[in-house]
A and B are shown apart, each in its own frame.
Chain A
């Protein structure tokens, strides 16, 4: 297993947010974490990379327990994180944003250069000198993914990559994620949008109120409409 999460519990101050979350991701797999707004998807990701102050359980990445490591160490082991709210450095140019993400190449992970990323996201190549704050939402979404890829991760957590994007851009995004998968990257993506997740994922988990309610293949999910209706329908 590439990433194993065992009985993860997370808290914000006195509030208990995640309850015994179990997730596992195989090497080269694309796994979707589905759930409604506020179900705990982002908190799961933030807990994995150590951005939540208090968490319990075991998180094993590439065979090593990373539960209590500081964020930058977790990321440097090859676990990339793309936040939902993008968090582009608006005062930095596209090139500089990529520079912040840069980490040395590692074995067992695709190696990215700015040039290679400009082929993956052609829009970015045309605006290398533009400030992050002067880009559209879709362009920022591409930049935030490219920035994380500059760290040459072997697994990426993508938090709602399709959120707020125009349909045409969503399609481009799906293609980019498939291209990343073809490079050998393991991917966990959180989504509210089942259609988008179906296009690219191998397996899926459903989270609701901080608990995992379903885990299985996309096909199994498609064959159980009652689960979809219970946890995903709006």
Chain B
């Protein structure tokens, strides 16, 4: 009994930091709609800066001053980031900001090691709170009790800030409708910056307060960011009280899960999150989001199937790619095969995200399941490679059928988070079910058949499968199914009103995307000769997202370009520099700023503009931005009819 009480208190103490970080994320998302992937990085920076400051300035004031100063320093860095980077891309497609903050995360990871070294650092203990208090005969650290009290205090302070100050009321108003707030004369620019700084302050404070309890490591950003996402989603996005309740819930689950269900301790939190989202899709204290207010006319460029010339060009490109083995060495061919595999993976996610409007944060689950499927078929049943390549993806399909059924009941960020939860569940099974999956050791010996064992042969195989898969996905975009799917994306309500079964169409899209991801995963297993839990872990899902966003989310096939660029760059950088993450992160950030519509989106803009110029303004219909009719009133009656809804 006593033990349980102490365990409970430990959980509460952990909840304090988690709550601070999560409330910061929640507040930032509420107003700016940015899913701040860099939130964990700022938490980590808070801890490192606090370590340096408290080592430097000792004593009572040195320590507490150092903690507070660290949070302020980190908040200032956050504000700078918002001013320099995020302000430029608020109008970019949704989730693009996620890509930018992901780039920042990568940079911070390398910078932290550069500045503070790779070793774990142990900070000083808190002056005045060093000892332990005797509770029911067991010693509870005084610092833990301090944190337990701190959590509700911060909660109260935030409540007063948001309900008793004009700034807080403005923030709450902007959370609901930021354009309207601007239309009432409020300068959003500084409102956003101050909100972002507050959120980052809370993250930095959460990190700084950890140093007397835990060592400071350069991996602590990733370990917390996922947990924070879970907390925010369970609590309800934008709800500070919800974040508090969820932080306590998650921390207690962690504290007791390890005792009660040691076998599934990792997955427990995600199971709870999945349950909460299925019962209350918008979190415990969140509110159902209204349909997103589309910024009218942001980018309306109708999609077209390829023209015969474009098809010929694509065919020529594929033929050229087919001749590469004549000139390239084995290493290059292996790299190219990997790129081909990832192009298919990215294209499958792109289909779900762009055509279906469903951004999955856990698409690696189906890639990884496909890989495990192929590995099981080969090693357990001794199936030949071709059979394994056909059977393996079925595991991915099964996963997509099961998980997809739940996921398509949600939309937006909640959909993304539920996919993340399911991917984590799949990952934990692969990680913890050692008897079947080999756990962390993975499954080795998944080698291709002899005819495909040479790098050139495997490259051709990967190229053929990938090209066929991408072509099939593209055909689907312009099929009746593709139109129905796009209708559900553009307006769930209106598509249902014309008789489209939204959930079923989206579920089908989910399964299709999972199928092609599974095929890519099966190929990947044979490429590497092994499978590991990493294949379905979060970084793999994030890689997929980065490729899609980099290519351009509003394009038909941007993901392929994004995959080629990102994968080639990542592999090349690792071979060139020890600071590959720093460089890669910086490149991503630069690309985000330079090409807010992605690489392909940018190219399309460029071409449309050039075409408009050569057509001399005659074809105002197809041309974007600058191509409006030069002589007003002449010709080109507005194509207002279909757009009237948006126009009003």
- A residues within 8 Å of B by Cβ? 7, 9, 11-17, 19-20, 37-38, 40, 42-43, 49, 51-54, 70-73, 75-76, 81, 83-84, 87, 89-92, 96-97, 99-103, 147-148, 151, 209-210
- When chains A and B are docked, how far (Å) is the Cα of A209 from the Cα of B633? 12
Q: B183, A20: Cβ atoms under 8 Å?
A: no
Give the complex CA separation of A131 and B431 in angstroms.
49
B177–A13 CB distance below 8 A: no
**Are the CB atoms of B184 and A101 closer together than 8 Å?**
yes
Decide: B648 and A100 in contact? CB cutoff 8 A: no
Inter-chain contact A16/B638, CB cutoff 8 Å: yes
Does B176 contact A14, Cβ atoms closer than 8 Å? no
B636 at the interface (CB under 8 A from A): yes
Select B166's contact among A52, A54, A76, A99, beta carbons within 8 Å.
Answer: A99
Partner of B179, one of A51, A90, A100: A51
B632–A14 touching, CB < 8 Å: no
Contact yes or no, B647 A38, CB < 8 A: yes
Interface members, chain B 611-637 (any A CB < 8 Å): 620-625, 627-629, 632-633, 636
Asked if B638 and A147 make an inter-chain contact with CB atoms under 8 angstroms apart, the answer reads no
**In contact, A14 and B300 (Cβ under 8 angstroms):** yes
Residue of A14, A100, A103 touching B173 (CB-CB under 8 A):
A100
- For B644, the closest partner residue in chain A by CB is A38
Contacts A15-B300, A15-B638 given; does A90 touch B182 at CB 8 Å: no
B297 touches A13 (CB 8 A): yes
A19 touching B184, Cβ below 8 Å: no
Give min CB distance, A220 to chain B, whole Å. Answer: 25
Q: Which of B183, B624, B648 lies in contact with A14, CB distance below 8 A?
A: B624
Q: Which of B177, B182, B287 contacts A71 (CB 8 A)?
A: B182
A83 and B183 contact, CB distance less than 8 A: yes
A-B contact count (CB 8 A): 128
| Contact between chains at A15 and B169 (CB < 8 Å) | no
- Knowing A12-B643, A13-B300, A92-B173, say if A81 contacts B648 (CB, 8 Å): no
B499 CB within 8 Å of chain A? no
Residues of B within 8 Å of A81, CB to CB, are 183
A15's nearest neighbour on chain B, judged by CB, is B643
Q: Chain A residues near B646 (CB, 8 Å)?
A: 12
Are A76 and B299 touching (Cβ within 8 A)? no
Stretch with Cβ within 8 A of A (4 or more), from B19-27, B32-40, B185-193, B414-422: B185-193
Asked if A14 and B647 sit within 8 Å, CB to CB, the answer is no
Contact of A89 among B180, B187, B636 (CB under 8 A): B180
Q: Which of B286-306 contact A (CB under 8 A)?
A: 287, 295-301
Q: Per a CB cutoff under 8 Å, which of A72, A97, A100 touches B188?
A: A72
Asked if residues A100 and B186 are in contact (CB atoms below 8 Å), the reply is: yes
| B409 proximity list for chain A (CB < 8 A) | none
Known: A16-B628, A19-B633, A87-B180. A72 touches B647 (CB 8 A): no
**CB-CB < 8 A to B180: which residues of A?**
83, 87, 89
In the complex the two chains form, is A37's CB within 8 Å of B300's CB?
no
A52 to chain B, nearest CB (A): 8
Flag whether B497 is at the interface (Cβ < 8 A).
Answer: no
Residue of B nearest to A97 (CB): B173
Q: Which residue of A lies closest to B165 (CB)?
A: A99
- Are the C-beta atoms of A89 and B173 separated by less than 8 Å? yes
Complex Cα distance, B177 from A147, in Å, reads 14
Nearest-CB residue, chain A, relative to B300: A13
- What count of chain B residues pass the 8 Å CB interface test? 46
Q: List 18 A-B contacts (CB under 8 A).
A: A9-B628, A12-B297, A13-B298, A14-B301, A14-B621, A15-B639, A15-B643, A16-B620, A17-B640, A38-B644, A38-B647, A43-B647, A72-B185, A75-B184, A96-B173, A99-B169, A100-B173, A209-B640
Nearest chain B CB to A211's CB is how many angstroms away? Answer: 8
Which among B184, B632, B633, B648 is the interface contact of A37 at CB below 8 angstroms?
B648
Nearest CB of chain A from residue B298's CB, rounded to whole Å: 7
**B183–A16 contact, CB under 8 A?**
no
User: Contacts A13-B299, A16-B628; is A148 near B621 (CB within 8 Å)?
Assistant: no
Q: Once the chains bind, are A54 and B625 in contact (CB under 8 Å)?
A: yes
Which among A14, A15, A148, A210 has the greatest number of chain B C-beta atoms within 10 A?
Answer: A14
B648 near A42 with CB under 8 A, answer yes
A209 to B644: give the CA distance in the assembly, Å: 10
Collect the chain A residues with CB atoms within 8 Å of residue B620's CB: 14, 16
Contact A14 B169 (CB under 8 A): no
Residues of A within 8 A of B185 (CB): 72, 75-76, 101, 103, 151
Complex contact B188–A89 (CB within 8 A): no
B390 within 8 A of A: no
Q: Give chain A residues whose Cβ lies under 8 Å from the Cβ of B179.
A: 51, 71
Query: How far, in angstroms, from A145 to B633 measured CA to CA in the complex?
Result: 35
Residue of A nearest to B191 (CB): A72
Closest-by-CB residue of A relative to B608 is A14
B172 and A12: CB pair below 8 A?
no
Q: Determine the distance from Cα of A14 to Cα of B627 in the docked complex, in whole angstroms.
A: 8
A15: chain B residues within 8 A (beta carbon): 297, 300, 638-640, 643, 647
Instruction: Give the Cβ gap from B32 to chain A, nearest Cβ, in Å.
Output: 16
A16: B residues at CB distance < 8 A: 620, 628-629, 636, 638, 640
Query: Which residue of chain A has the shortest Cβ distance to B623 in the bound complex?
Result: A14
A70 to B179, CA, bound (A): 11
- Cβ–Cβ contact A100 & B169, under 8 A: yes
A148 contacts B638, C-beta separation under 8 Å: no
In this complex, what residue of A is CB-closest to B188? Answer: A72
Known contacts A38-B644, A90-B176; decide if A12 and B300 are in contact (CB<8 Å).
yes
Q: Which of A15, A19, A40, A147 has the largest count of B CB atoms less than 10 A from its CB?
A: A15
A-B contact sample (15 more), CB < 8 A, given A40-B647, A89-B177, A209-B640: A9-B632, A12-B296, A12-B297, A14-B639, A52-B297, A53-B297, A70-B187, A72-B182, A72-B183, A84-B648, A87-B177, A92-B172, A92-B176, A99-B166, A100-B184
A11–B625 alpha-carbon span in the complex (Å): 9
Chain A residues with CB below 8 A from B593, complex form: none
- What A residues does B264 contact at CB under 8 A? none
* Chain B residues whose C-beta falls within 8 Å of the C-beta of A100 in the assembled complex: 169-170, 173, 181, 184, 186
Residues of chain A within 8 A of B170, CB atoms compared? 100
Contact A89:B176 (CB < 8 A) given known A14-B620, A14-B624, A17-B647: yes
> For A43, A100, A103, which residue has the most chain B Cβ atoms within 10 angstroms?
A100
